[in-house]
A and B are shown apart, each in its own frame.
Chain A
Amino acid sequence: MADLPGDGELTCQGAEVRAGPKTGQGRVLLLACGALAREILALCRANGWDHFDISCLPAILHNHPDRIPQAVRDAVERHRADYDRIFVVYADCGTGGGLQRVCDELGVEMLEGPHCYSFFEGNQAFAAHSETEFTAIYLTDFLVRQFDAFLWKPMGLDRHPQLRDMYFGHYEKLVYQAQTDDPTLTEKARRCAERLGLAFERRFTGYGDLERELAREAQKTLAP
Chain B
Amino acid sequence: MSDEDDDIILSELDDEELVQQMFDDLYDGLKDEIMEGVNILLDRGWAPYRVLTDALVGGMKIVGDDFRDGILFVPEVLLAANAMKGGMSILKPLLAETGAPTIGKMVIGTVKGDIHDIGKNLVSMMMEGAGFEVVDLGINNPVEDYLDALDKEKADILGMSALLTTTMPYMKVVIDTLIEQGKRDDYIVLVGGAPLNEEFGKAIGADAYCRDAAVAVETAKTMVQRRHNRLSA
CA distance A95 to B167 in the complex (A): 13
| Chain B residues, Cβ within 8 Å of A135 | 115
* B74 contact from A94, A114, A155, Cβ within 8 A: A155
| Chain A residues, Cβ within 8 Å of B78 | 156, 160, 163, 166
Given A65-B195, A92-B165, CB of A160 within 8 Å of CB of B79: yes
| Chain A residues, Cβ within 8 Å of B82 | 166
| Chain A residues, Cβ within 8 Å of B89 | none
Task: Tell me the A158-179 residues at the B interface (CB within 8 Å).
Answer: 159-160, 163, 166-167, 170-171
A94 and B165 form a contact (CB under 8 A)? yes
| Chain B residues, Cβ within 8 Å of A170 | 115-117, 139
B166 and A159 form a contact (CB under 8 A)? no
User: B75 within 8 Å of A by Cβ?
Assistant: yes
User: B207 within 8 Å of A by Cβ?
Assistant: no
| Chain B residues, Cβ within 8 Å of A163 | 75, 78-79
| Chain B residues, Cβ within 8 Å of A65 | 195
- By secondary structure, the B interface counts as loop
User: A5 within 8 Å of B by Cβ?
Assistant: no
Q: How many residues of A contact B (CB 8 A)?
A: 21
User: A83 within 8 Å of B by Cβ?
Assistant: no
How close is A135's CB to chain B, nearest CB, in angstroms? 6
User: B136 within 8 Å of A by Cβ?
Assistant: no
User: B118 within 8 Å of A by Cβ?
Assistant: yes
B75 and A134 form a contact (CB under 8 A)? no
**B79 to A, closest residue via Cβ:** A160
| Chain A residues, Cβ within 8 Å of B41 | none
| Chain B residues, Cβ within 8 Å of A130 | 113, 166
Task: Tell me the B67-102 residues at the A interface (CB within 8 Å).
Answer: 73-76, 78-79, 82
Task: Tell me the A41-76 residues at the B interface (CB within 8 Å).
Answer: 65
User: A96 within 8 Å of B by Cβ?
Assistant: yes
Given A156-B76, A163-B75, A166-B78, CB of A134 within 8 Å of CB of B168: no
Interface core residue of B75, B114, B115, B140 (most chain A CB under 10 Å): B75
Mark B residues whose CB is within 8 Å of A.
29, 73-76, 78-79, 82, 113-118, 139-140, 164-168, 195-197, 200
Known: A155-B74, A166-B118, A170-B116. 5 other contacts (CB 8 A): A130-B113, A131-B113, A159-B75, A160-B29, A160-B75
